[in-house]
């Protein structure tokens, strides 16, 4: 049997260490095509490029067919499917490995997860991987073992073209990770603060900072899993309907 076709993308850019880690994981598993941003695109969410041309250039740094894209992570997936693969559908899309958490509400802002979500919208089973280490020189050795396990498990089950997994990995040596826990997305929010300062021309500018807060203590959430030494796996989807409010509004409107 032929190897599965795997599309690899990210939001940290074509030369990111986490992307290279995913390539190493996928190389013995399947045939790989890589399309990733030409520069970091963190926090882009599901943005697409509408008012500027998008450049797509092949790069020679990898053994596999690889391209850098001037657009967003979602643009990368769209161009991969329609241009690079000429509408040939991959068996799996993997996105990452992202530097930093995409657990809880972070999935909304994440370029990593939006790329995976776009692939899922196109009917491609998808996994987004994130590592809670923000260090540019982070050690991805434990992540590679986790990614290999999950990729092989997903490829071994009957194909589900709506599958979208949000995987977050704690900063622990592999032998200290307690296991892989399937969870729900934790309820939480960011409380933003803006630092005000003056640029060299005397003009005001603002730099956003903030902190994540959750009051949840339940043991079935991604935040609990990560805080307690587990890899969190959250099955996600793109239907934003609030079904509780839908039923309530039917009695009012």
Q: What is the DSSP string of 190-237?
A: EEEEEEEEE-TTS-EEEEEEEEEE-----TTBHHHHHHTTEEEEEE--
Give the per-residue pLDDT at 193.
Answer: 83
More confident call, 191 vs 131: 131
Q: Tens digit of pLDDT for each residue in 181-192?
A: 999 999 888 777
Give the per-residue pLDDT at 76.
Answer: 96
With a CB cutoff of 8 Å and minimum separation 6, the contacts of 235 are 163, 164, 165, 166, 182
Token duo for residue 159 = 């194909």
Cβ-contact 119, 153 below 8 angstroms: no
Token duo for residue 170 = 């704690």
Is the pTM higher than 0.75? yes
Give the per-residue pLDDT at 59.
Answer: 95
With a CB cutoff of 8 Å and minimum separation 6, the contacts of 85 are 5, 7, 33
Structural domains of the chain in order of their starting residue, each with its CATH number: 5-185+217-250 (3.40.1210.10)
Q: Is 48 exposed, middle or buried (0-12, 13-18, 19+ CB in 10 A)?
A: middle
Give the per-residue pLDDT at 165.
Answer: 97
Residue 199 has pLDDT above 60, yes or no: yes
Cβ-contact 68, 36 below 8 angstroms: yes
With a CB cutoff of 8 Å and minimum separation 6, the contacts of 191 are 210, 211, 213
3-state secondary structure of 179: strand
Task: State percent of the chain over pLDDT 70.
Answer: 100
Residue 1 has pLDDT above 80, yes or no: no
- CA 126, CA 244: separation in Å to the nearest integer? 27
User: Which of these ranges, 127-131, 140-144, 196-200, 240-244, has the smallest mean pLDDT?
Assistant: 240-244
Give the per-residue pLDDT at 172.
Answer: 96
Q: Tens digit of pLDDT for each residue in 7-55?
A: 999 999 999 999 999 999 999 999 999 999 998 888 788 888 899 999 9
Q: Which of the four pLDDT bands, split at 50, 70 and 90, describes residue 228? A: very high
Q: Tens digit of pLDDT for each residue in 63-88?
A: 999 999 999 999 999 999 999 998 88
With a CB cutoff of 8 Å and minimum separation 6, the contacts of 175 are none
Give the per-residue pLDDT at 245.
Answer: 92
Quote the mean pLDDT of the chain: 92
- CA 51, CA 183: separation in Å to the nearest integer? 39
User: Which of these ranges, 111-115, 207-211, 224-228, has the smallest mean pLDDT?
Assistant: 207-211
């Amino acid at each position: 049997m032929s190897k599965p076709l795997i599309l690899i993308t990210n939001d940290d850019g074509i030369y990111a260490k986490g992307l290279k880690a995913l390539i190493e994981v996928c190389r013995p598993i399947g045939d790989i095509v890589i399309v990733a941003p030409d520069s970091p695109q963190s926090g882009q969410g599901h943005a697409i490029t509408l008012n500027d041309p998008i450049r797509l250039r092949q790069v020679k740094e990898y053994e596999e067919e690889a391209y850098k894209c001037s657009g967003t992570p979602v643009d990368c997936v769209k161009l991969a499917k329609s241009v690079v693969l000429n509408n040939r559908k991959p068996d799996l899309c993997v996105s990452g490995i992202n530097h930093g958490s995409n657990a809880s509400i972070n999935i909304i802002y994440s370029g990593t997860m939006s790329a995976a979500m776009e692939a899922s919208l196109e009917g491609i089973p998808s996994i987004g991987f994130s590592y809670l280490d923000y260090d540019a020189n982070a050690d991805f050795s434990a992540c590679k073992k986790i990614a290999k396990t999950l990729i092989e498990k997903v490829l071994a089950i009957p194909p589900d073209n709506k599958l979208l997994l949000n995987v977050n990995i704690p900063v622990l040596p592999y032998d200290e990770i307690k296991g892989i826990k399937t969870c729900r997305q934790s309820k939480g929010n960011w409380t933003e603060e803006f630092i005000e300062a003056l640029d060299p021309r005397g003009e005001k500018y603002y730099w956003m900072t903030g902190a994540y807060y959750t009051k949840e203590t339940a043991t079935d959430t991604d935040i609990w899993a990560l805080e307690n030494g587990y890899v969190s796996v959250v099955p996600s989807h793109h239907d934003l309907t609030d079904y509780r409010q839908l039923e309530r509004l039917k009695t009012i409107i």
